[in-house]
Structure 1
Amino acid sequence: MSLSISVDSMIAVRLKSPSPHLRTITVFILTSVLVPQLVSQVLPLGSLTRARAITQYKFDRWQTDDGLPDNTINSILQSSDGYLWLGTQRGLSRFDGVKFTNFDIANTPGLLNNALSVLFEDAEGALWIGTGGGGLTRLKKGRFESFTTANGLSNNYISSIAQDSAGVLWIGTYGGGLVRYRDGLFEAMTTSNGLASNFVRCLFSDRQGILWVGTNGGGLNKLAHGRIERFSVKHGLPDDNVKSISQDQEGRLWIGTSNGLARYQDGRFIRQTNWNAVPNSYVASLMVDDEGTLWIGTNGSGLSRYDGKLVDTYTMNEGLANNFVSAVAQDTEGNIWIGTERGGLNRLRKTKVLTYTTKEGLSIDYVRSVFEDQKGRIWIGTNGGGINILKNGAFSVFTTKHGLSNDFIRPIFEDSKGTMWIGTWGGGVTLYRNRRFDRPRELEAISNKFIRAINEDTKGNIWIGTNGGGLNRYANGKLTVFQTKNGLSNDFVSSIAEDRAGAIWVGTSGGGLNKLVGDSITVFKGEQGLPSEFVTSLSVDHDGVLWIATNGGGICRFKDGTFTTWRSSDGLVDDIIYSILDDEEDSFWLSSTRGISRIFKRDLDAHAGRRSTTLHVLTFNEVDGMKSSECSGGTNSAACRTKDGRLWFPTVEGLVVVNPTTVKKDTFGFPVYIERIVIDKIAIDHE
């Protein structure tokens, strides 16, 4: 006899979110739930360029205090309608991104045991729930129905579920062998039929229609065309206790055992013994993501990731709640969901921006400047950690030990001859040329050792802005100094730019803007329309227009002799702007104390022409992957656009990278699901 019970549905209209953040939006009596979908496990594995270190995911965690019924999660599944289902030691939990709805033997008669071992969704959308002693439960069209030995199951301890290409459901039991469910009937296959062990631990149906059966003590069994083929340690398996199986798009099987990992390729097993991360670990779960990366959950060694070339790990030392990983799954936005023993539900979420910190190899998290040289190397100036150079995903660190005059770096610039100019805070200028750091004697005469800006004009002159010593021009081995005594508005120079006409523009901290033509200086301050006399950066766009970022006055444009200003009152995220970069889509990117913002140039033009009163500003902060929303500024190289189009921003907690192309493509639809309708506190049946 089978039991059935209907689900006590939660309210809502469900939406699938374009954002990686799961949240609830209430509209009248309907709630929208934003949960991304999971992808298939049969995905490519192979030649990838590691784009994101495992430490560069945003980590989130949910435990019993957040509504989970138990902190041990044995199975994770996202159903086709977008819910995240969790099989725990104390029942079933459904997660909508905001709250957990829990089902157990006390409130769900269709569940006969709270210890859930496996979850599986069949081709018709029914959810199958395997329990440790309570048999099998099916949730279909809102109703729970249970199946036990009384209904034909060989054993009530369910370990795994799979469905083959013919639509046949296979159930692995712990002690009762393998069970086939077809046309409403259960048929058992045990050692008497050729199975190596009646203790089935995992099942996997591959793309060729082969059913793979992992057992405890009996190794791996291959069921194809009605025949069973058995593999054990004699054939190359690391161990005869097989715990997990997955497959990549190239057809290779990955087999996790209680004594490490192996892959099955071209008819033979290859044990992965050369990995420091998972040499002999108990591999409890495997998942291949949509980028072809293999995720490996272990019992005691945390989570490992293999992209075809590199292996890295994520353990409690990096923030994982527990090193015993029992389940791994992925959603369509690339987020990795991790079920642990006693550690609850964990998520590694891909973020809009990428942040490099000391965890990835930076010498110090406080970054002040960034610059790409002609060879594509990223030069990073830090506040006390010297110069860091990022090349091919690895950092090299250079300090005073290597010849730098000071480890507190401000501007970085490469001249037309390939020489790197490094401005320091208190140590003047250091050059990098001929593969060594150098401090030429003639540069010792710079008017101040605190350097804020370095640039080169079209004539090959090097301009150096100092913090209190004015502006220096280096030409033909000689220095010429411009200060307040000979017409400069202020001796605290923050930025330098050259326009198309060859004029040199000099931004200052407190003295506004200067325009140098030859030795003639014209000053622009508040009375000329400058919104703030504290200029943080200058840039000239591809139309030849000068853009000015300020401390306190937002941004402004100098065009046809007129300043046009945009502030926070117009829609900017902040009035303190450190840098302005443009991308290939004619957008501007602004760094500030409150994050990084994108604004379309056409919106600025429309706003300036009074054709629009609204600025559409997209801002990125900690939620999007920044460790801190506070960017760094006050130097000429407070942001950088590299040859590949990516944008780099220094912050007080790491170096942030934004890919404008990725941001542009990140749009999703919103499928809607009605969970419950309530009118005057009365639930209405909407089925």
Structure 2
Amino acid sequence: MRLLLAIFLLTLLPLLSAERPRAMVRQWQSEDGLPGNVVRSMVQAADGYLWVATAEGIARFDGIDFDAIEPDGELRQLRFAFWRMFAPEDGSVWVATFQGGLFRIRDSRLERVVHEVARSRPPLINQLILDGSGVIHFLRGEEIWKVENGTPSQVEKPSQDLIDRFARDHEKQIAGGRAVDGVAAGTVAQLHTRDGRLWAADATGRLVIDGETPVDLPGVASPYVFNELLEDREGNVWVATPLSGLARVRRSRVEPLSTTDGPEPAAFGVMQDRSGVWWIANRRGGIDRWTEEGGVEHLELVPTGYQRPVATMFEDAKGQLWVAARGGSVFLRKPDGSFAQQFQRTQVPSKVRTMQQDGQGVLWFGGTQGLASYDGTAVHVYGESDGFPKCEVTVLMRDHDRMLVGTNDGQVFAGGSRGFRLLGNPAPLKHWWVSGLLAVSPDELWATTLGGGVFLWNGKSWQQFAADDGLPDARLTSVLSDDRGHLWFGSLGGILRASRQEFLDRANKPDRQIHWLRLDRSDGLPTRECIGGYQPAGWKGKDGRLWFPTGSGVVRVRPDLVEVNKVPPPVYLRSTRINGVQPEEQDGRIEAGPGRSRVEFRFVGLSYSAPEKVTYRARLQGLDDSWRELGNQRFAAYEAVPPGRYTFEVMAVNGDGVWSKQAARVAIRIKPHFWESAWFIFTVTALTLACTATIGWYLARRRMKQRIQALKIKNAREGERTRIARDLHDDLGASLTEISILSALAAEGGDESTMRPALDQLSNKAKAVVGTLDEIVWAVNPRDDTLRSLVDYLAAFAREFLDTAGIALRTDIPRNIPETPLDAPVRHGVFLAAREALNNLVKHSKATQARLAVLHEPTKLEIRIEDNGRGFSQEWEAKGYGVANLRERMQAAGGDCSISSIAGEGVTVTLTLPLLADPSTQA
């Protein structure tokens, strides 16, 4: 019985030990930016940053970069031996020295709070807490001190509540989170983590978990000595070593297996047979048989000669192993363990990539030469007549009573011995290499591609999930289901996992999000690249583990032990630079400018489990409200940002798809140049509108004037035509009628005494008609539209008219009357007024002499007609005497008329016409 029990325990022990996740260790030393390799203390502050105290100084660590903290002022000249760090709940960070001093870190500077004690064994500060009112208290030796307003003072009579707080803080350190007391007590530090594990050194000095799982720290010689152990909020354990820097220990989520021997560990395919034996196709040729107990056994396909790598493996319904060499023949493993070639080299199937068996026991082969089946006696090659085109087959899968076939040009077929049909329109697959198939139901088929991501066949069409859906790497090599609601994918960028239900939800509602988990080197993968192009490219074992071939051997994942880091990564803005200069920030706001500026932001998201997998998205509200995916780039730059008000926001997501709780943001105002300011733009706009309105008004007024002028010209022409018609009718018509009558009388004959008066009268009337016609021609001739023509014609008319009446005329007319333009209506109206005055002089004055005087000034023309007749009184003027008619004529011409007379002394008629100033005379 004891022997059987011992055998059972020996058999079970490897399995039990295999259940424990492997510990992964990452170290940082001085070449990585750590101030020194002698690490004495470390804390995680309330904001999530990790602070490290070394013999060479203090640094803040964000998982990638160390920011050294410098002493302030004269403290830079001194050297301090830092001992222990503290991070109370208020977010402050403190550090104590071996000389009993205490510093506070504020704005990346060290501020001294407590001075060192100048003696050999000064009391050390080994605890620092906050009391109920938010005041810092620390334990210095056996004394309790406090810090208020930056000044330390001893607490003479501490309250019981304060004493209890120190006791609880001591128990908290012992219970978990941080182990620091071991160094002071001369024993090795111990850490109780939140998952119930105990981290400590064993009797030999090795760091072990729960007393049995060793943690090998690279570069640390045995026995190990640790100054401190710290568990961060994500469950990582940090080790402060006295010589080897800072180390982080976390659980491996991937288990690499050393299943291959030799210099080329790459595995092309992996599968498990019914007996639990694992078969591995490796790069160096042949095939490996592996078991937990027996390890690796290498088998050759042919006894001698060149060993081709295996492209695919398959176990049929009888438990027989079929193997196809890459670019070569198909082999069947015999009961004695050897392999026998099944088909001639020139016979199809050959160059096989994938194999399967249907429900009727027919074997199917797919590869470079297409698709073929073998029923045990004959090989049938499928072609166009079977609904299958000539193409390269990359993957085969049995789904109940049908076979599913994927090709290298993005086509998926379903069918069997009776023929095949193409599933849907292959256009969405865009000729991508189909690398894996997973059938859940007839209306749910998952297909992976090398470059195009994953595709879902819903029974009607294909739907793609790629980078826009958050897929970390579209170069997928396989797809597996863990039967826990997740799909797992091998890829050239690591092992990926996503929820099947989230896929289906996003297929129906594109706003739904898919949370991706990516496993890579930080999770224990020896290489990120999973091998693709061979089958099987992934396998689910009988125990539920998922196996993937990689370029560094085979790895396996236990899905139920893969813990997701659910701690949201806090994200912080580290700096903002505008045109290369970092401006001062006041109340979360920054002002810069004037004018367009280059704005650059630097930020960091804190996730210490896998800091290199933290990715970011950012946006500059006011410029572009859409989020911009930045990958793992920790800065964002915007070129030529115009003046305005903006808010920059950035979010971080850890490697397991958990987003920051809130975005880091900063408000920015870029001031404009004065010509870009609102008041300037408003003023210019207002002036532009005013000028536009003024010009529009001016143009409208000008057009109106032109229209009025045109109407005036038209009216003047019509009036002139009317006047000419009237003159022709009244003067010429009447005169010609009278001439006709006189001519008829003369024609009747008679003696000379009776004919002479009629002929004289006829002659006079003819002369009058000629004068009237001459006047009409002068009035309408455009060449006479001048002031000089008016004066000359008026003088000639007056001379001829008064000479006929027998009245002597004396003229007083300047010789330099200019050729000032004068409108025809004005010219004719002045002439008619002057003629009316001369008619009145001849009819009523009984004068013997008359005087015509013309006075010309630049702005006025004055015509005076004087006589030496009998004159008239003012009463006669009121009765008419032609005065009203004269004034009407002059006012119609734009001028005026005045008449003065004294009875018995003659009459003076003055005609006044305003003139426009002549520029030539002005000069």
TM class by smaller structure: 0.5 to 0.7
Distance 1:135 1:667 in 2: 39
Post-superposition shift, 1:136? 3.7
Structure-1 residue corresponding to 2:807: none
CA offsets 1:231-280 (integer angstroms, 9 cap, x no match) = xxxxxxxxxxx4524266xxxxxxxxxxxxxxxxxxxxxxxxxxxxxxxx
Distance 2:51 2:428 in 1: 59
Query: Do the aligned partners of residues 667 and 461 (structure 1) sit closer, same or farther apart at CA in structure 2, a change above 3 Å counting?
Result: same
Of 633-642 and 461-470, the range deviating more from structure 2 = 461-470
Is 1:369 matched up with 2:253?
no
Post-superposition shift, 1:369? 1.9
Query: Do the aligned partners of residues 520 and 344 (structure 1) sit closer, same or farther apart at CA in structure 2, a change above 3 Å counting?
Result: same
Structure-2 residue corresponding to 1:315: 218
Q: Flag structure 2 segments of 5+ consecutive residues without an equivalent.
A: 1-15, 130-135, 147-153, 157-170, 590-923
Query: Do the aligned partners of residues 205 and 332 (structure 1) sit closer, same or farther apart at CA in structure 2, a change above 3 Å counting?
Result: closer
Post-superposition shift, 1:368? 1.9
Structure-1 residue corresponding to 2:681: none
Post-superposition shift, 1:452? 1.6
Is 1:438 matched up with 2:338?
yes
Matching of residues 533-572 of structure 1 within 5 Å: 534-542=433-441, 545-551=444-450, 553-560=452-459, 562-566=461-465, 572=471
Post-superposition shift, 1:48? 7.0
Post-superposition shift, 1:294? 3.3
Distance 2:368 2:439 in 1: 23
The one of 28, 39, 59 equivalent to 1:61 is 28
Matching of residues 387-426 of structure 1 within 5 Å: 387=287, 396-400=295-299, 406=307, 408-425=309-326
Post-superposition shift, 1:312? 5.3
Query: Do the aligned partners of residues 421 and 64 (structure 1) sit closer, same or farther apart at CA in structure 2, a change above 3 Å counting?
Result: same
Matching of residues 502-513 of structure 1 within 5 Å: 502-510=401-409, 512-513=411-412
CA offsets 1:657-680 (integer angstroms, 9 cap, x no match) = 455556675323567999999997
Q: Which secondary structure state, in structure 1, belongs to the residue aligned with residue 248 of structure 2?
A: strand
TM-score (normalised: structure 2) = 0.47
Q: Which secondary structure state, in structure 2, belongs to the residue aligned with residue 507 of structure 1?
A: strand
Distance 2:248 2:191 in 1: 22
Structure-2 residue corresponding to 1:666: 565
Post-superposition shift, 1:641? 3.1
Is 1:294 matched up with 2:199?
yes
The amino acid across from 2:52 in the alignment is L
Q: Is the 8 A contact 1:429 1:451 kept in 2?
A: yes
Structure-2 residue corresponding to 1:115: 81
CA offsets 1:517-536 (integer angstroms, 9 cap, x no match) = 32434456967876427432
The one of 358, 376, 384 equivalent to 2:284 is 384
CA offsets 1:268-306 (integer angstroms, 9 cap, x no match) = xxxxxxxxxxxxxxxxxxxx784625355999x9x7545
Post-superposition shift, 1:441? 5.8
Matching of residues 63-82 of structure 1 within 5 Å: 63=30, 66=33, 68-79=34-45, 82=48
Query: Do the aligned partners of residues 138 and 681 (structure 1) sit closer, same or farther apart at CA in structure 2, a change above 3 Å counting?
Result: closer
Post-superposition shift, 1:503? 1.9
Post-superposition shift, 1:423? 3.8
Distance 1:624 1:371 in 2: 26
Structure-2 residue corresponding to 1:145: 113
Post-superposition shift, 1:508? 3.0
Matching of residues 89-128 of structure 1 within 5 Å: 89-97=55-63, 99-103=65-69, 107=73, 113-119=79-85
Q: Is the 8 A contact 1:131 1:156 kept in 2?
A: no
CA offsets 1:122-150 (integer angstroms, 9 cap, x no match) = 89998664434x22426499975325447
Of Structure 1 and Structure 2, the greater helix share is in 2
The amino acid across from 1:316 in the alignment is G
Structure-2 residue corresponding to 1:465: 366
Post-superposition shift, 1:366? 2.0
Structure-2 residue corresponding to 1:261: none
TM-score (normalised: structure 1) = 0.60
Matching of residues 228-377 of structure 1 within 5 Å: 242-246=186-190, 290=195, 292=197, 294=199, 296=201, 304-311=207-214, 313-316=216-219, 327-340=228-241, 343-350=244-251, 353-354=253-254, 356=256, 364-374=264-274
Higher RCO (CA-CA < 8 Å; seq separation 6+): 1
Structure-2 residue corresponding to 1:494: 394
The one of 495, 501, 516 equivalent to 1:618 is 516
Is 1:181 matched up with 2:181?
no
Query: Do the aligned partners of residues 524 and 213 (structure 1) sit closer, same or farther apart at CA in structure 2, a change above 3 Å counting?
Result: closer
CA offsets 1:367-409 (integer angstroms, 9 cap, x no match) = 22233444556544322275556655x8822323698995723
Structure-2 residue corresponding to 1:272: none
Q: Is the 8 A contact 1:471 1:493 kept in 2?
A: no
Distance 2:123 2:285 in 1: 58
CA offsets 1:10-55 (integer angstroms, 9 cap, x no match) = xxxxxxxxxxxxxxxxxxxxxxxxxxxxxxxxxxxxx97554334x
Higher Cα Rg, which structure: 2
Q: Is the 8 A contact 1:297 1:327 kept in 2?
A: no
The amino acid across from 2:143 in the alignment is Y
Distance 1:53 1:395 in 2: 21
Structure-2 residue corresponding to 1:236: none
Q: Is the 8 A contact 1:632 1:652 kept in 2?
A: yes
Distance 2:82 2:548 in 1: 47
Q: Is the 8 A contact 2:53 2:59 kept in 1?
A: yes
Post-superposition shift, 1:473? 2.5
The amino acid across from 2:539 in the alignment is C
RMSD of equivalent CA atoms: 5.4
Q: Is the 8 A contact 1:69 1:102 kept in 2?
A: yes
Of 618-627 and 447-456, the range deviating more from structure 2 = 618-627
Post-superposition shift, 1:86? 1.7
Q: Is the 8 A contact 1:537 1:549 kept in 2?
A: yes
Q: Percent of counterpart pairs with the same letter?
A: 22
Of Structure 1 and Structure 2, the greater strand share is in 1
Distance 2:200 2:513 in 1: 42
Post-superposition shift, 1:84? 2.0
Distance 1:169 1:617 in 2: 45
Distance 1:666 1:622 in 2: 15
Post-superposition shift, 1:623? 6.6
Q: Which secondary structure state, in structure 2, belongs to the residue aligned with residue 437 of structure 1?
A: coil
Q: Flag structure 1 segments of 5+ consecutive residues without an equivalent.
A: 1-46, 172-178, 188-202, 221-241, 249-287
Q: Which secondary structure state, in structure 1, belongs to the residue aligned with residue 48 of structure 2?
A: coil
Q: Which secondary structure state, in structure 2, belongs to the residue aligned with residue 244 of structure 1?
A: coil
The amino acid across from 1:612 in the alignment is P
Structure-2 residue corresponding to 1:10: none
Q: Which secondary structure state, in structure 1, belongs to the residue aligned with residue 37 of structure 2?
A: coil
Query: Do the aligned partners of residues 556 and 359 (structure 1) sit closer, same or farther apart at CA in structure 2, a change above 3 Å counting?
Result: closer
The amino acid across from 1:462 in the alignment is L
